[in-house]
Structure 1
Amino acid sequence: MSQPCAARPSASARPMHRAAPVTSATRRTGGRQGLEAERWPVDDGSLIYNAAMKPNSAQPDSLPVPDDIAFAHSRALAQRIAEEIAAAGGWLPFDRYMELALYAPALGYYSGGSVKFGRGPDDGSDFVTAPELSPLFAQVFARPVADVLDATGTRHVVEFGAGTGKFAAGLLRKLDTLGVGCARYTIVELSGELRERQRAILVQTAPELAACVEWVDAMPPRVDGVIVGNEVLDAMPVRLFARLGGLWHERGVAVADASRFVFADRPLAAAAVPAALASVPGQHDYVTETHDAAAAFVHTVCSVLCHGAAMFVDYGFPGAEYYHPQRSDGTLMCHYRHRAHGDPFLYPGLQDITAHVQFSAIGQAAHDAGAHLLGYTSQARFLVNAGMTDALAQLDPADPARFLPAANAVQKLLSEAEMGELFKVIAFRRGFDAALGAFERGDRSHML
């Protein structure tokens, strides 16, 4: 066996408005958007913040109400979480709550079998990703993947967060067209339901190439080739922190009135405050996240990568922008039926919980694992560099039934007001030294 090298309304593309780039000098002075903080005394000196929208018992008017079966599913997960909170002494770090809400076996959002990815609310989905918007995304992404495979002489692709399988199918077809046939395509997927959806899509849309696809439920011990992950890092649990009255607290979860989840904050000793937070200017109340799980994941990915590249697409900011003093509400958001809101305690197991990616921390994790930065830029610049406008130009405008939907999707992928600016692409290399054309213009590596 190979040994590892030495040292994740209209259709909404997540997110929707919570963490837009800071453009105003005006800031809020406390509390998360949509939640009204209220202090509850408890024996250990923590502060409990009770959500005014009453999690688990009411919902914003704009959100549809789940059916009885879905409610029962959510109640079962809530009970599971409540039991763990009790076993932990009444307080659970938020990252553990988020892990259970998203990944608890058979009950979590990503393991419970519900539809996540789709084109709009009518299909029961909660959000749309780039591969669902347009097949051109995977086709264009295949070009830099092919460049790495050619430069390294490898023919192995590993994908995390394969969703419905449309990205894999489109990537395989385009690689074959480019003459860079993929001998082995590995999808790392824990969800049995998603595996079956991916398999069906591949058999339906790329039957001649499906035989090279394999599914595994753990990180391969060694990778020579390309690792890709689209909207993987944002779904990894984050730690929550709150600066209150000038002092930092870790924000966790407790149970109030024996039935409702609420935020509970524990003071941190100065030595326990993460370095990234200690440098946030000002003394005003401030809520934010750190991305320990995502950083650990990228470190592991870059450790098993021996000869090739790892590429990640996600929404987020470099550290200086992420921890800007005006971003005082943090970036935590939830998505349910293509609607975004700020209550992570609403419908546990039925809604997505996400946070923007802090790309400086991701870059540092890769560096610590021995990888080198290939590039960091906006999704729009990456796709244009890789040939998106040329790909669209190959479609016939005289065929409006095909051309207009494709043009609309490309506009969404590239527009600064949509996904083009907020979404970024970051890539790392090991075992080879070559530039990547997709980062040739507009590289922002200096901002990390």
Structure 2
Amino acid sequence: MTTLPAPSAEALVTSQALCAHIRQTITQAGGWIPFSRYMELALYAPGMGYYSAGSHKLGSAGDFTTAPEMTALFGRTLARQIAELLPQTGGTVYEFGAGTGKLAIDILTELEKLDCLPEHYIIIDLSADLIERQQTAIRSALPHLAGRVSWLSQLPDQLDGVVIGNEVLDAMPCELLHWTPEPLQRGVALDGDNFVWQDRPIQDPALQRQAAALNIQQAGYISELSLSNTAFIHTLARHLVRGAILLVDYGYPASEFYHPQRHMGTLIGHYRHHTVDDPFFLPGLMDLTCHVDFTAIAQAGIDAGLDLIGYTTQAQFLINAGITQLLGELDADDSASYLPVVAMVQKLLSMQEMGELFKVIGFGRGVSIDWQGFAQGDRCHTL
């Protein structure tokens, strides 16, 4: 059995304060909250949640590593796709959940090389701690471009440009359902001071409809359904007057997401580079995520009047957009710097690593439907 690293005393105090806050929330709600509410508090409770308490989340010292942290070629390749689209819009890049700011730095660096800098690069983030880190990193790496970057905590009234989000959808609170075989909403109750599962009949009509539409007859089947994901797409569409939406995340089409063999769902915790099955483990110190149902994402975009441009694997998108050409521009004779980059690119592209599990989906409004990233290997037919 793997022994997980112990948290610091300071971190443990934060987790205990969050647990007390969640217990109080459950009590005030009559003894039960839906899992989506628990996940929201665990991740975003002010000053205590995972994304708002100031812990180091990304990279080797954190809990997980994202593609931008692995190699600058990820962001530089995305920038090539952005450069194709940006001149067709009002010239702004909008990034959701920018992490450490590394993706913004790499995108801006490449766009400058391509002579296609945006008028504005707007980061929309809810974490004050991460915003502070982003500002420090961008000002240090790109002092001459820092004036183009600004931060918002909510959507502007209108979006006219290119919207990007890397691993944003998976961090949105999801509903947890348990089929018995009729679907019940799984929530969190208390047994003393401990959090425990408790199922209740679904009250939300929208959740009822979507759960019924899945037509799952398997008793004991547990899975997620994200109303937050689809609401996010509808909100983007409502604000997008012209431009493109490019989202990268891990997940499946509905036929794979709700496959009979995936009967325990996809909900997982990430703690110090370990995966944890128990979502009640050290609340506030562990990331909670669920995979993305890309069929639901695609349908939400279409229903909201967007053009579904393409859907493919991360590997195919990056190859289409030119990551191998960028790799070829590096100095192969400098093995000390070249070989680690090759290893990271291999991880981004490998079918056994991130290449197949991670997908890219694109939507447009008032822009060309021919995007370099989806030129080959489009999988929209699988949705």
Name the TM tier (shorter chain): over 0.9
Corresponding residue of 1:232 = 168
Corresponding residue of 1:384 = 319
Q: Are 1:165 and 2:106 an aligned pair? A: no
Equivalent pair of 2:67/2:74 in contact (CA under 8 Å): yes
Distance in structure 1 (CA, Å) of the matches to 2:218 and 2:75: 45
Structure 1 stretch 318-327 or stretch 125-134: which is displaced more? Answer: 318-327
Q: Are 1:100 and 2:50 an aligned pair? A: no
The residue identity in structure 1 corresponding to 2:111 is L
Corresponding residue of 2:195 = 261
Corresponding residue of 1:435 = 370
Distance in structure 2 (CA, Å) of the matches to 1:298 and 1:283: 30
Displacement, 1:131?
0.3
Distance in structure 2 (CA, Å) of the matches to 1:212 and 1:296: 29
Displacement, 1:427?
0.8
Distance in structure 2 (CA, Å) of the matches to 1:303 and 1:264: 36
Runs of 5+ unmatched residues, structure 1: 1-59
Runs of 5+ unmatched residues, structure 2: none
Corresponding residue of 2:55 = 114
Displacement, 1:154?
2.9
Normalised TM-score (structure 2): 0.97
Q: Are 1:75 and 2:16 an aligned pair? A: yes
Larger helix proportion of the pair: 2
5 Å-filtered alignment, 1:365-380, equals 365-380=300-315
The residue identity in structure 1 corresponding to 2:5 is P
Displacement, 1:247?
2.6
Displacement, 1:268?
4.3
Q: Are 1:181 and 2:117 an aligned pair? A: yes
Give the aligned length: 382
Distance in structure 2 (CA, Å) of the matches to 1:188 and 1:269: 32
Distance in structure 2 (CA, Å) of the matches to 1:400 and 1:307: 44
Corresponding residue of 1:290 = 225
Structure 2 vs 1, CA of residues 281 and 252 (structure 1 numbering), >3 Å: closer, same or farther?
closer
Distance in structure 1 (CA, Å) of the matches to 2:109 and 2:323: 16
Corresponding residue of 1:241 = 177
Corresponding residue of 1:41 = none
Equivalent pair of 1:380/1:415 in contact (CA under 8 Å): yes
Equivalent pair of 2:98/2:134 in contact (CA under 8 Å): yes
Displacement, 1:280?
4.1
Distance in structure 1 (CA, Å) of the matches to 2:262 and 2:295: 16
Distance in structure 2 (CA, Å) of the matches to 1:281 and 1:420: 29
Corresponding residue of 1:46 = none
Corresponding residue of 1:358 = 293
Equivalent pair of 1:149/1:155 in contact (CA under 8 Å): yes
5 Å-filtered alignment, 1:8-23, equals none
Equivalent pair of 1:334/1:342 in contact (CA under 8 Å): yes
**Tell me, what secondary structure is at the counterpart of 2:340?**
helix
Corresponding residue of 1:414 = 349
- From 124, 138, 142, give the equivalent of 1:206: 142
**Tell me, what secondary structure is at the counterpart of 1:420?**
helix
Structure 2 vs 1, CA of residues 180 and 269 (structure 1 numbering), >3 Å: closer, same or farther?
closer
Equivalent pair of 1:416/1:422 in contact (CA under 8 Å): yes
Corresponding residue of 1:85 = 26
Displacement, 1:89?
0.7
Structure 2 vs 1, CA of residues 270 and 431 (structure 1 numbering), >3 Å: closer, same or farther?
closer
Percent sequence identity over matched residues?
48
Displacement, 1:432?
2.4
The residue identity in structure 1 corresponding to 2:255 is A
Distance in structure 2 (CA, Å) of the matches to 1:164 and 1:372: 31
Distance in structure 1 (CA, Å) of the matches to 2:247 and 2:55: 25
Corresponding residue of 1:134 = 71
Structure 2 vs 1, CA of residues 89 and 276 (structure 1 numbering), >3 Å: closer, same or farther?
closer
Return the index of the structure with the highest Cα Rg: 1
Distance in structure 1 (CA, Å) of the matches to 2:67 and 2:252: 19
**Tell me, what secondary structure is at the counterpart of 1:114?**
coil
Equivalent pair of 2:89/2:160 in contact (CA under 8 Å): no
Equivalent pair of 1:280/1:323 in contact (CA under 8 Å): no
- From 148, 170, 186, give the equivalent of 1:251: 186
Distance in structure 1 (CA, Å) of the matches to 2:283 and 2:203: 31
Distance in structure 1 (CA, Å) of the matches to 2:271 and 2:89: 43
The residue identity in structure 2 corresponding to 1:331 is T
Displacement, 1:61?
4.2
Displacement, 1:190?
1.9
Displacement, 1:281?
4.6
Normalised TM-score (structure 1): 0.83
Structure 2 vs 1, CA of residues 228 and 78 (structure 1 numbering), >3 Å: closer, same or farther?
same
Displacement, 1:275?
3.3
Displacement, 1:411?
0.4
Displacement, 1:269?
8.2
CA deviations on 1:88-107 (whole Å, 9 max, x unpaired) are 11110000000000000111
**Tell me, what secondary structure is at the counterpart of 1:159?**
strand
Displacement, 1:62?
2.5
CA-based RMSD:
1.5
CA deviations on 1:136-180 (whole Å, 9 max, x unpaired) are 000011011011112x14310000010000100110111111111
Distance in structure 1 (CA, Å) of the matches to 2:114 and 2:213: 49
Equivalent pair of 1:316/1:358 in contact (CA under 8 Å): yes
Distance in structure 2 (CA, Å) of the matches to 1:354 and 1:270: 22
Equivalent pair of 2:183/2:211 in contact (CA under 8 Å): no
